[in-house]
Structure 1
């Protein structure tokens, strides 16, 4: 039952990834039709991000009160309704209003499913979960481009994705009783926490029981790791092509294809990581991923030929692949299972904050200093992520010795 139930969770994460890439694919034909300015897409993106951050912060409390199944069901209803509304929206004002439930629904689903998998499944399932998000994010532009090319309608693209989301809502409604049942089966049949980590076993001490989750030693450093992880992932995705064109004199078409290989490295890397976690624990994989990304950043920084620049982007993508799912899956083991629901929401909120704020901050810096600063910024973000993550490991070792 637990294995089949994973199919539903994977489907939910595909549906989470599809809307993330729809707006960018549709916007070139959307904004003239609704008479919105080109830069209005940034406003919509920020509203979605704000809703996602807000729902992530409160997701832990909601899950404790209503359970992961109900929160996921209601959140998918919100996203499906918002996407259907997008297909009928006559103006930017309506899109702005609909962006609120789209963000609120997405954040709660993300935090809820990550916590559920971290608490009840092994590490390789977390890697594959985020691989399926990549599949969804890849499907979004494909679906939208099909309806724009063959039906000359971005609205039909949104309505079709909304129908897929409503299909998931029906599946979630029918399987709602299974969430608690599967969780109980997993807890009765498994070790206390299935993290895939031999060095970060679940430590339930007085500190993790009695104080607010944010005050547990190591939590703040962990949050910084999430901030810089999503910051570097988004910064490379947003500004990588501009760097290739502006500083490396690569054609726009080639630059776009190289950035797609960067995302491909993340998606394929997570698929492979799922198998590797069967032999190597999360802590080692996270460190190896960070060192690989650091090596890729150094290649970008050094004055190598253009071919090496492509290798640098791919290495960063492959290096980033195991970090995010690995950090998420370690949450119950590092900070206590009783704290994981709230901490997962906090981590999601900080992660989305990093992806929302760090890329535009770099954009402001680049506007004053030049896009050539891109490798330096990427390398700095990767280093701060590595430093924060290793600080958590040091704190955990000290806690283990003290206990």
Structure 2
């Protein structure tokens, strides 16, 4: 049976799914499956590119860098998706322990791709919510200003208290000055309404001195109290002013800089917590992207072994066997070459050449027997499929022709 030619664009889609085109051309019924899988991978990569580019532009506002990052992100997602599909064989897909990490990774990729596109789809609602959040921050600033006004009222009250303390202190100072003047006039013997007119320290002078000393103590005590109270008031007012100033500065900075992808994600979270419709729409959109991302893996998980998989498995086993056989033959040929260099008789060399040719012919006959046995076993399972019968005869015929040609040439 001759291989059917596949259209170039279909070949591109099949290559996206990781299929071997040479084998797939001999299985025309399998082309649709792998081209569809490649289409899903390609669409996911394009959506990931748009998603990553928009997210980068939202963060940095650089259009060219956003385009470059979007292309890079699309290639990354495409490579990961293609790896998930190509690394999971049909037999391996039946093992749950091997499938689970791939499904989990596909779900994570779906969420990563979906989030930036969600921000774009709900852009209008997000901008409205961002404005509301900024207004709330400004409202907290106005509340802060009210606290400042209340603090100013408290400050004025404390200032009045300090003024009263200063007045009391001034009165006590005046009283101290009068007691000192009266005392010194008494000991100098000056005549006044408050002195006796006697010079020296008499009983009256001692009494007035005691009054002066007591008044001075009261003044110092009152002065210390006023100074301490003033310091407490000043420290308290300074702390209040600094706290309000720092809070106002922080709120102002938050209100002005409340933008970017993180702010939009927070706004979207706030919206979904308030409105059940938006929450359901957000969940539904995320599930769509997860379904798109996991679709190739789920298809690979649910598919059965077809003609393409049979031929691919046989091709891989044949390659492994040929590699092993060629390796053994090359090792023996190397030994012959080494022995030829050491050999002193041409007859021994000719004998070794004959042995080498016999081994090669035996290897060829053994390879043909193994291939015939393998395909006979498969044909017993697929005896009703004429397509496999024709393909088998063609492959066996071509292999025998090539091997016999090699033997005659030697």
Q: Taking structure 2 as the reference length, what is the TM-score of the superposition? A: 0.22
Q: Which has the larger radius of gyration?
A: 2
- Using CA pairs under 8 Å that are at least 6 residues apart, name the structure with larger relative contact order, 1 or 2: 1
